[in-house]
Amino acid sequence: MLGSGVTLQEEGLVPEESVVAQALRDAILERRLGPGSRLPEEQLAEIFASSRGRIRRVLLALARERIVVIQPSRGAFVASPDAVEAREVLAARRMIEVGAMERPCQPLTEEKRDLLQQVIEEEHRAHAAHDSVAMIRWSGRFHLELARGLGNTVIADIISELILRTSLIIAIYERQQATCCLKADHDLLLAAVNARTWPEAARLMSRHLLEIEQNLDFSAPAPPTMSLGLILRR
Protein backbone atom coordinates (compact mmCIF):
# COMPACT_ATOMS: atom_id res chain seq x y z
CA MET A 1 0.00 0.00 0.00
CA LEU A 2 1.32 3.44 -0.92
CA GLY A 3 1.89 5.50 2.22
CA SER A 4 1.41 9.25 2.37
CA GLY A 5 3.76 10.02 5.25
CA VAL A 6 6.38 12.76 5.06
CA THR A 7 9.50 11.97 7.08
CA LEU A 8 12.98 13.32 7.65
CA GLN A 9 16.23 11.50 8.27
CA GLU A 10 16.55 11.04 12.04
CA GLU A 11 20.13 11.12 13.24
CA GLY A 12 20.76 8.97 16.30
CA LEU A 13 17.21 7.69 16.88
CA VAL A 14 16.77 3.96 17.45
CA PRO A 15 13.81 2.21 15.74
CA GLU A 16 11.54 2.49 18.80
CA GLU A 17 12.16 6.24 18.94
CA SER A 18 11.60 6.62 15.20
CA VAL A 19 8.15 5.03 15.58
CA VAL A 20 7.22 7.59 18.24
CA ALA A 21 8.65 10.46 16.17
CA GLN A 22 6.62 9.41 13.14
CA ALA A 23 3.44 9.03 15.19
CA LEU A 24 3.84 12.59 16.46
CA ARG A 25 4.66 13.89 12.97
CA ASP A 26 1.56 12.19 11.59
CA ALA A 27 -0.63 13.67 14.33
CA ILE A 28 0.73 17.13 13.54
CA LEU A 29 0.47 16.70 9.77
CA GLU A 30 -3.10 15.42 10.10
CA ARG A 31 -3.92 18.34 12.42
CA ARG A 32 -4.93 16.05 15.28
CA LEU A 33 -2.25 17.82 17.33
CA GLY A 34 -2.81 21.52 16.85
CA PRO A 35 -0.32 24.39 17.14
CA GLY A 36 0.62 25.10 20.75
CA SER A 37 -0.40 21.64 22.00
CA ARG A 38 1.64 20.62 25.05
CA LEU A 39 3.72 17.43 24.74
CA PRO A 40 4.52 16.26 28.30
CA GLU A 41 7.26 13.65 28.48
CA GLU A 42 5.61 11.61 31.22
CA GLN A 43 2.29 11.30 29.39
CA LEU A 44 3.96 10.47 26.08
CA ALA A 45 6.08 7.82 27.79
CA GLU A 46 2.90 6.22 29.16
CA ILE A 47 1.07 6.38 25.83
CA PHE A 48 3.94 4.81 23.89
CA ALA A 49 5.08 2.43 26.68
CA SER A 50 8.51 4.02 26.50
CA SER A 51 10.92 5.80 28.83
CA ARG A 52 11.08 9.54 29.43
CA GLY A 53 14.67 9.48 28.18
CA ARG A 54 13.59 8.09 24.81
CA ILE A 55 10.70 10.55 24.59
CA ARG A 56 13.09 13.41 25.34
CA ARG A 57 15.33 12.32 22.46
CA VAL A 58 12.32 12.22 20.13
CA LEU A 59 11.20 15.70 21.15
CA LEU A 60 14.70 17.07 20.63
CA ALA A 61 14.75 15.54 17.14
CA LEU A 62 11.38 17.13 16.31
CA ALA A 63 12.62 20.45 17.70
CA ARG A 64 15.50 20.30 15.21
CA GLU A 65 12.86 19.97 12.49
CA ARG A 66 11.15 23.13 13.83
CA ILE A 67 7.77 21.44 14.29
CA VAL A 68 8.20 21.27 18.08
CA VAL A 69 9.54 23.97 20.40
CA ILE A 70 11.11 23.25 23.79
CA GLN A 71 10.75 25.97 26.40
CA PRO A 72 12.98 25.92 29.50
CA SER A 73 11.07 24.96 32.67
CA ARG A 74 7.85 24.53 30.66
CA GLY A 75 8.46 21.57 28.36
CA ALA A 76 7.72 20.79 24.72
CA PHE A 77 4.91 22.17 22.56
CA VAL A 78 3.82 21.83 18.95
CA ALA A 79 5.24 24.86 17.15
CA SER A 80 2.86 27.76 16.55
CA PRO A 81 4.29 29.96 13.78
CA ASP A 82 3.03 33.53 13.56
CA ALA A 83 2.09 35.22 10.29
CA VAL A 84 5.61 36.58 9.73
CA GLU A 85 7.20 33.15 10.12
CA ALA A 86 4.46 31.59 7.99
CA ARG A 87 5.20 33.95 5.11
CA GLU A 88 8.94 33.30 5.46
CA VAL A 89 8.43 29.53 5.28
CA LEU A 90 6.26 29.85 2.18
CA ALA A 91 8.75 32.24 0.55
CA ALA A 92 11.53 29.73 1.25
CA ARG A 93 9.51 26.98 -0.41
CA ARG A 94 9.05 29.11 -3.51
CA MET A 95 12.75 29.90 -3.78
CA ILE A 96 13.87 26.30 -3.24
CA GLU A 97 11.22 24.40 -5.20
CA VAL A 98 11.16 26.78 -8.16
CA GLY A 99 14.97 26.64 -8.21
CA ALA A 100 14.81 22.84 -8.26
CA MET A 101 12.63 23.05 -11.38
CA GLU A 102 15.01 25.48 -13.08
CA ARG A 103 18.16 23.43 -12.39
CA PRO A 104 17.27 19.74 -11.97
CA CYS A 105 20.14 17.35 -11.30
CA GLN A 106 18.50 14.58 -13.32
CA PRO A 107 15.21 13.78 -15.11
CA LEU A 108 12.66 11.55 -13.43
CA THR A 109 13.09 7.81 -13.77
CA GLU A 110 10.17 5.74 -15.00
CA GLU A 111 9.75 4.33 -11.49
CA LYS A 112 9.55 7.81 -9.97
CA ARG A 113 7.10 9.00 -12.65
CA ASP A 114 4.84 6.05 -11.83
CA LEU A 115 5.08 6.79 -8.10
CA LEU A 116 4.19 10.45 -8.60
CA GLN A 117 1.22 9.47 -10.75
CA GLN A 118 0.00 7.18 -7.97
CA VAL A 119 0.34 10.02 -5.47
CA ILE A 120 -1.70 12.31 -7.73
CA GLU A 121 -4.42 9.66 -8.05
CA GLU A 122 -4.57 9.31 -4.25
CA GLU A 123 -4.79 13.10 -3.96
CA HIS A 124 -7.69 13.16 -6.43
CA ARG A 125 -9.49 10.49 -4.39
CA ALA A 126 -9.03 12.56 -1.25
CA HIS A 127 -10.33 15.62 -3.11
CA ALA A 128 -13.42 13.72 -4.27
CA ALA A 129 -14.04 12.57 -0.69
CA HIS A 130 -13.62 16.16 0.62
CA ASP A 131 -10.90 14.85 2.94
CA SER A 132 -8.79 17.96 3.52
CA VAL A 133 -6.37 16.20 5.88
CA ALA A 134 -5.58 13.51 3.30
CA MET A 135 -5.19 16.18 0.63
CA ILE A 136 -2.56 17.94 2.75
CA ARG A 137 -0.70 14.65 3.29
CA TRP A 138 -0.73 13.61 -0.38
CA SER A 139 0.23 17.11 -1.50
CA GLY A 140 3.25 17.00 0.78
CA ARG A 141 4.15 13.54 -0.50
CA PHE A 142 4.00 14.81 -4.11
CA HIS A 143 6.35 17.72 -3.46
CA LEU A 144 8.79 15.56 -1.51
CA GLU A 145 8.93 12.74 -4.07
CA LEU A 146 9.31 15.24 -6.91
CA ALA A 147 12.30 16.82 -5.18
CA ARG A 148 13.83 13.40 -4.52
CA GLY A 149 13.23 12.35 -8.11
CA LEU A 150 15.11 15.35 -9.50
CA GLY A 151 18.24 14.09 -7.80
CA ASN A 152 19.26 16.70 -5.21
CA THR A 153 19.06 14.99 -1.82
CA VAL A 154 20.00 18.17 0.08
CA ILE A 155 17.08 20.05 -1.47
CA ALA A 156 14.80 17.08 -0.76
CA ASP A 157 15.78 17.13 2.93
CA ILE A 158 15.13 20.88 3.17
CA ILE A 159 11.78 20.54 1.41
CA SER A 160 10.80 17.72 3.78
CA GLU A 161 11.25 20.03 6.78
CA LEU A 162 9.41 22.87 5.04
CA ILE A 163 6.49 20.58 4.17
CA LEU A 164 6.06 19.68 7.84
CA ARG A 165 6.23 23.34 8.83
CA THR A 166 3.76 24.22 6.08
CA SER A 167 1.27 21.71 7.50
CA LEU A 168 1.32 23.68 10.75
CA ILE A 169 0.78 26.91 8.85
CA ILE A 170 -2.18 25.41 6.99
CA ALA A 171 -3.60 24.09 10.29
CA ILE A 172 -3.57 27.61 11.72
CA TYR A 173 -4.37 29.80 8.74
CA GLU A 174 -6.24 27.79 6.10
CA ARG A 175 -9.42 29.49 4.92
CA GLN A 176 -12.62 27.57 5.45
CA GLN A 177 -13.47 25.49 2.36
CA ALA A 178 -9.97 26.03 0.92
CA THR A 179 -7.79 23.13 -0.20
CA CYS A 180 -4.01 23.11 0.04
CA CYS A 181 -3.53 22.45 -3.68
CA LEU A 182 -5.80 23.09 -6.63
CA LYS A 183 -6.97 19.82 -8.13
CA ALA A 184 -5.11 19.95 -11.47
CA ASP A 185 -1.91 21.68 -10.35
CA HIS A 186 0.12 18.54 -9.73
CA ASP A 187 -1.04 16.95 -13.00
CA LEU A 188 0.24 19.99 -14.91
CA LEU A 189 3.51 20.05 -12.97
CA LEU A 190 4.20 16.38 -13.58
CA ALA A 191 3.43 16.74 -17.29
CA ALA A 192 5.91 19.62 -17.60
CA VAL A 193 8.60 17.73 -15.67
CA ASN A 194 8.07 14.57 -17.74
CA ALA A 195 8.40 16.66 -20.92
CA ARG A 196 11.55 18.29 -19.47
CA THR A 197 10.15 21.74 -20.21
CA TRP A 198 11.91 23.16 -17.18
CA PRO A 199 10.97 26.87 -17.61
CA GLU A 200 7.29 25.86 -17.77
CA ALA A 201 7.72 23.58 -14.75
CA ALA A 202 9.30 26.46 -12.81
CA ARG A 203 6.46 28.79 -13.79
CA LEU A 204 3.83 26.27 -12.72
CA MET A 205 5.57 25.60 -9.41
CA SER A 206 5.80 29.32 -8.64
CA ARG A 207 2.12 29.86 -9.44
CA HIS A 208 1.11 26.78 -7.48
CA LEU A 209 2.92 27.81 -4.29
CA LEU A 210 1.60 31.38 -4.53
CA GLU A 211 -1.94 29.99 -4.76
CA ILE A 212 -1.36 27.97 -1.58
CA GLU A 213 -0.40 31.17 0.23
CA GLN A 214 -3.40 33.03 -1.20
CA ASN A 215 -5.68 30.34 0.29
CA LEU A 216 -4.50 31.24 3.81
CA ASP A 217 -6.10 33.73 6.17
CA PHE A 218 -3.44 35.18 8.44
CA SER A 219 -6.07 36.56 10.81
CA ALA A 220 -7.52 33.11 11.57
CA PRO A 221 -7.14 31.73 15.13
CA ALA A 222 -5.66 28.32 15.89
CA PRO A 223 -8.25 25.52 16.08
CA PRO A 224 -9.01 23.75 19.39
CA THR A 225 -7.47 20.32 19.89
CA MET A 226 -8.44 17.09 21.65
CA SER A 227 -6.57 15.70 24.64
CA LEU A 228 -3.20 14.09 23.96
CA GLY A 229 -4.37 10.72 25.23
CA LEU A 230 -7.35 10.57 22.87
CA ILE A 231 -5.19 11.62 19.93
CA LEU A 232 -2.25 9.26 20.41
CA ARG A 233 -3.34 6.37 22.62
CA ARG A 234 -3.34 3.15 20.60
Q: Which of 103-112, 128-137, 172-181 has the largest mean confidence?
A: 103-112
Q: Which CATH architecture has domain 15-80?
A: Orthogonal Bundle (1.10)
Alpha-carbon distance 63 to 35, whole Å? 14
Instruction: Out of 7-11, 53-57, 191-195, 199-203, pick the least confident.
Output: 7-11
44-93 pLDDT tens trace: 999 999 999 999 999 999 998 888 999 999 999 999 899 999 999 999 99
**Is the model's pLDDT at 12 over the cut of 50?**
yes
Q: How confident is the model at residue 226 (pLDDT cuts 50, 70, 90)?
A: low
Tell me what pLDDT residue 7 has.
54
**Is the model's pLDDT at 34 over the cut of 60?**
yes
More confident residue, 66 or 110: 110
**Is the model's pLDDT at 177 over the cut of 70?**
no
Percent of the chain residues topping a pLDDT of 90: 53
Tell me what pLDDT residue 189 has.
96
Q: Following CA atoms 59, 68, 172, 219 in sequence, which dihedral angle do they give, to the nearest 10 degrees? A: 160
Alpha-carbon distance 185 to 195, whole Å? 16
Tell me what pLDDT residue 9 has.
47
pTM: 0.77
Q: Which of 26-40, 119-133, 168-182 has the largest mean confidence?
A: 119-133
202-223 pLDDT tens trace: 999 999 999 989 889 888 655 5
Residues 6+ apart with CB under 8 A from 23: 48, 232
Q: Judge whether 67 and 58 are in contact, CB under 8 Å.
A: no
Q: How confident is the model at residue 199 (pLDDT cuts 50, 70, 90)?
A: very high
What are the domain boundaries of the chain? 15-80, 83-214
- Backbone φ/ψ region at 187: left (φ over 0), alpha (ψ -120 to 50), beta: alpha
Select from 104, 102, 188 the least CA-distant residue to 142: 188
Per DSSP, what are the bridge partners of residue 140?
A: none
Alpha-carbon distance 194 to 177, whole Å? 31
Select from 155, 146, 152 the least CA-distant residue to 181: 146
How many degrees, rounded to 5, is the angle at CA 73 between CA 15 and CA 23? 25
Tell me what pLDDT residue 58 has.
96
Alpha-carbon distance 225 to 203, whole Å? 37
User: Domain 83-214 falls in which CATH fold?
Assistant: Four Helix Bundle (Hemerythrin (Met), subunit A) (1.20.120)
Cβ-count burial of 153 within 10 angstroms (0-12 exposed, 13-18 middle, 19+ buried)? exposed
